[in-house]
A and B are shown apart, each in its own frame.
Chain A
Amino acid sequence: MDKRLKVLVVDDTDLNLALITKVVASEGHDAITAKNGEEAVAQYLSEAPDLILMDVMMPVMDGYQATAKIRELAKGKWIPVIFLSAKAQDQDQVKGLEVGGDDYLTKPVNLTLLKAKIKSMQRISEMQRVIAENADQLARYREENEREQRLAQHLLAKIIHNEAINNPLIRHWLMPAANFSGDIIAVAATPGDVLHFILADGTGHGLSAAINAMPVTEVFYGMSEKGFSISSIAQELNRKVKQLLPTERFVAAILVSVDLAQRAIRIWNGGAPATLFVSAEGQILHRWQPGHPPLGILDNDDFDPKTEVFSWREAGQLILCSDGVAEAESEAGEHFGSERIVQALSRTGFDQQFEGLKSAVIDFLGGHAGLDDVSLIGIHCPMDFAGETVMQEHGEKDFDFHLSPGRWKISITLGASELKSLDVLPLLISWLGQIKLTQKQCREMYLIITELYNNALDHGVLGLDSSLKSLEDGFDRFLTLREERLNNLLDACVEIELLRQRRNGAEYLQLRLKDSGNGFDASPILSCNLAVHNGFAGRGVALVRTLCEKLEYLGNGNEVVALYPLN
């Protein structure tokens, strides 16, 4: 049923008022009246009618003036006005419509026509009401959406902000497509001072894309801090993204570790464009193609955490891009493409390369934002970095270290399958984190455990020869061989024992490692001098020796004991 309208009837003659009021009532509506323009305006304000039937010639204020006034007061809200007038000239009707009338009937009023006009105005009025309501709702949605976007942007900025990104070796640039970006760039340093990077690109753009990528940063920072490898992080990210997001959502990501001391880069690339290593002269020295599907697609059993390793023999810059770079579209509909990336990087100087690529993309887009988020990271990989950061004191306050009366020992024995699959070191490190070591002690113990465990595994169990690393391409061959032997490992074990003890009134942590390998003659390594030793082989052990009060190899070299002083 049609809505009952409140109709304002305006006329200076009682007879007309009575007649029109009767018609209005017969149509099932309520009539209110006014006898001149001024009264009509007052009624409009106090009664808020749905329709006005307005006479033109009236004392005090005429119908034209009253209508103009009401339109002014209505401020955008539409109220239908039908003029009823004895003035039958065309120009009268035109004037009526000009001052804001919606229709014009001449007197004497044809009552059938009037009823039809009231019905028609009722329909239009209803349509107007729906449109106004929708527009209002849309405006509210829009406002709400903008507020949420601002909140998400704020959250995201907090999550991504990390001091590690201020490293002078790192350049980064992110240009979001929509209000804000689904691309995430994060940098973290492990306890062993290996730099970890992630460039993640969630499905879609804007808010929903950013939500997809958000869970990624939390896992990335948490695991990097504990010293997990990027393989382990990739595996966990895949599990998490798969668990949280629906089937059609995923996150393309490049995970990178840069070990400046070892000059080694490891990359896990799931569905992101190729990563490039560019020399100072702009030559592409290495290219990592995407080796895996994006995060969040495969079941964990099918997931492949394999990374691709490269060790640099001359200084270079590692360039990571999101797909928004190659897919940047010019006004002519052309794509930036991977060749333009290579071309832009073919300059001399790392800053020139990075800035060159950035401005090439901006120029190509012709001042517009891209269809997709555009992200770029450049990491300068120098030759002269060896060993500098590892020993740095990071200036945190050492909290009071009171000796607890408890002595403890933990020992674990790892078999072949654990050696293959378990990221052992973070487990031990997280244990050290629980026993109130200072930050400095934690870092040093991390270094000691890492070095000695890797030695036990690489040289003891896998029988790899360190001198391989000093050959041309030796590091890559070393790593390939290592992986091959680890995969084929059937029967082996490494025993790890950590012991808290007191000797002559001083506190120590003692680490003992024993492997099932054939052992080796450790004396050359133990006697080598850190300062003059430039090769990879043995440098780690020499470093460990400087941190420990005592380091000795037992048996035939397959057992090592390190004594680390705690005060």
Chain B
Amino acid sequence: MQINVNVNGSSAVISMNGRFDFNSHREFRSASEQATKAEGVNDIEVDLSAVDYLDSSALGMLLLLREKANAANRKLTLSNCKGMVQQVLEVANFGKLFTIK
């Protein structure tokens, strides 16, 4: 799993690939901090297009990011969810907690 943060003007995109699970904890936390602390960012997008597995720990990490983004008054979007990632998010009804596109 590799996590990148790309800040472009008022938006920050966190993108990753492979399995998003407990082992990504440290990287994701630092990516979250980078995205929520970057100057002038209003929108944070988590790009899940290259993620092929997501477990409940990953959902927990997304909830943490949501909390941080709310506290920093930044809009959070999960994008490009497909296949198993989409299924897991649907079962957890994360559509009620996040903007998913």
A: residues with CB less than 8 A from B are: 201, 203-204, 247-250, 252, 270-273, 290-294, 297-298, 323, 335, 372
Distance from A15 Cβ to chain B, minimum over Cβ atoms (Å) = 61
Binds A, one of B2-10, B41-49, B72-80, B93-101: B93-101
Residues of chain A lying within 8 A (CB to CB) of residue B63: 247-248, 250, 297
User: How many chain B residues have a CB neighbour from A under 8 Å?
Assistant: 18
A293's closest neighbor in chain B, by CB? B93
Distance from B21 Cβ to chain A, minimum over Cβ atoms (Å) = 9
Given the known inter-chain contacts A297-B97, A335-B84, please indicate yes or no for A271 contacting B60, CB distance below 8 A. no
Decide if A248 touches B64 in the complex (CB within 8 Å).
yes
Decide if A290 touches B92 in the complex (CB within 8 Å).
yes
8 A–B contacts from the bound complex (CB under 8 Å) = A203-B60, A252-B91, A271-B92, A272-B91, A273-B91, A293-B92, A297-B63, A323-B56
User: In whole angstroms, how far apart are the Cα atoms of A293 and B60 in the complex?
Assistant: 12
Residues of chain A lying within 8 A (CB to CB) of residue B90: 290
Decide if A204 touches B56 in the complex (CB within 8 Å).
yes
Given the known inter-chain contacts A203-B57, A204-B56, A272-B91, please indicate yes or no for A293 contacting B96, CB distance below 8 A. yes
Residues of chain A lying within 8 A (CB to CB) of residue B91: 252, 271-273, 290, 323
User: In whole angstroms, how far apart are the Cα atoms of A292 and B97 in the complex?
Assistant: 10
Given the known inter-chain contacts A204-B22, A247-B67, A335-B84, please indicate yes or no for A270 contacting B60, CB distance below 8 A. no
B29's closest neighbor in chain A, by CB? A248
Decide if B97 touches A293 in the complex (CB within 8 Å).
yes
A202's closest neighbor in chain B, by CB? B56
Residues of chain A lying within 8 A (CB to CB) of residue B60: 203, 247-250
Decide if B22 touches A294 in the complex (CB within 8 Å).
no
Residues of chain A lying within 8 A (CB to CB) of residue B92: 252, 271, 290, 293-294
Among the interface residues A201, A204, A248, A270, which one has the most CB atoms of the partner chain B within 10 A?
A: A248
Q: Is B50 interfacial (CB 8 A cutoff)?
A: no
User: In whole angstroms, how far apart are the Cα atoms of A249 and B22 in the complex?
Assistant: 12
Residues of chain B lying within 8 A (CB to CB) of residue A249: 60
Distance from B76 Cβ to chain A, minimum over Cβ atoms (Å) = 14
Segment 7-61 of B: residues with Cβ below 8 Å from A: 22, 55-57, 59-61
Known pairs A248-B61, A273-B91, A372-B55 / 6 extra A-B pairs, C-beta < 8 Å: A201-B56, A248-B57, A249-B60, A250-B56, A271-B91, A290-B91
Decide if B56 touches A252 in the complex (CB within 8 Å).
yes
B84's closest neighbor in chain A, by CB? A335
Residues of chain A lying within 8 A (CB to CB) of residue B97: 293, 297-298
Among the interface residues A247, A272, A290, A372, which one has the most CB atoms of the partner chain B within 10 A?
A: A247
Distance from A252 Cβ to chain B, minimum over Cβ atoms (Å) = 7
A270 CB contact (under 8 Å) in B22, B55, B61, B93: B93
Decide if A247 touches B64 in the complex (CB within 8 Å).
yes
B93 CB contact (under 8 Å) in A203, A248, A290, A335: A290
Residues of chain A lying within 8 A (CB to CB) of residue B64: 247-248
User: In whole angstroms, how far apart are the Cα atoms of A271 and B60 in the complex?
Assistant: 13
User: In whole angstroms, how far apart are the Cα atoms of A271 and B89 in the complex?
Assistant: 9
Residues of chain B lying within 8 A (CB to CB) of residue A270: 93
User: In whole angstroms, how far apart are the Cα atoms of A66 and B52 in the complex?
Assistant: 61
Residues of chain A lying within 8 A (CB to CB) of residue B22: 204
User: In whole angstroms, how far apart are the Cα atoms of A183 and B92 in the complex?
Assistant: 16
Given the known inter-chain contacts A204-B22, A297-B63, please indicate yes or no for A291 contacting B93, CB distance below 8 A. yes
B64's closest neighbor in chain A, by CB? A248
User: In whole angstroms, how far apart are the Cα atoms of A251 and B15 in the complex?
Assistant: 27
Q: Which 6 A-B pairs have the closest CB atoms?
A: A248-B60, A271-B92, A293-B93, A203-B56, A248-B64, A247-B67
